[in-house]
Amino acid sequence: MAALLANFRNTVIVSVIIALLIAVSYYMHPGTAHERYWEALFRWLHVFFGILWIGLLYYFNFVQIRKMPEIPAELKPAISKYIAPEALFWFRWAALITVVMGLILAWTRHYAVDALTLGAANGFQVPSDTFIGVGMWLGIIMMINVWAFIWPNQKIALGIVDADADAKAKAGRIAMLFSRTNMLLSIPMLVFMTMNQTMFG
């Protein structure tokens, strides 16, 4: 068991296999409401990638950005050369997959267009479409911030692409400001995400 747990990739593979076995056995169960099964499956995938994305967003904002100024210069490459590039890899792909799974989830609930138009597509007859719609747009804006601003500027700031010291400092500040913007949007976004089903069913 220790050998399995000592290997990150194998641990994730076994964890996914166990999760899929549970999901498939649930599908095979005679009492399962198959019409909501796919909604359940994409809700699980959406929340998993949402945790990975927002978890890394909170690592950057609660830990790395705040502690970086205190790290002695000769130790900073440990973060900029090793930790940050790896974290940014999972961060940006989890952001994209969270949005794709969220859109599919909205589609399985038959309100994707209504929600993305904030209820306008059905004449604002269904308050929950406006509610979850605002949450979905906050998540989409956060994902665009990741791919259009945070990642390109982090590549410059971390020296993944060549740039002089001034450009690196400027890019680092832009990346920090957009990451902090996502921090600010994340907590209201989770109000819409997590309260929708309880309030509107």
Contact footprint for ligand HEM (CB under 6 A): 43, 46-47, 50, 53-54, 98-99, 102-103, 105-106, 109, 132, 136, 139-140, 142, 189, 193-194, 196-197
176 or 189, CB closer to ligand HEM? 189
Q: How far is the CB of 66 from ligand HEM (least distance, A)?
A: 21
Q: How far is the CB of 13 from ligand HEM (least distance, A)?
A: 24
146 or 171, CB closer to ligand HEM? 146
Q: How far is the CB of 155 from ligand HEM (least distance, A)?
A: 22
54 or 156, CB closer to ligand HEM? 54
Are the C-beta atoms of residues 96 and 143 closer than 8 Å to each other? yes
Which residues make Cβ contacts (< 8 Å) with residue 131, sequence separation at least 6? 192, 195, 196, 199, 200
Instruction: Give the count of beta carbons closer than 10 Å to the beta carbon of residue 109.
Output: 18
- Which amino acid does the sequence have at 78? A
Burial of 73 (0-12, 13-18, 19+ CB in 10 A): exposed
133 or 172, CB closer to ligand HEM? 133
Are the C-beta atoms of residues 4 and 12 closer than 8 Å to each other? no
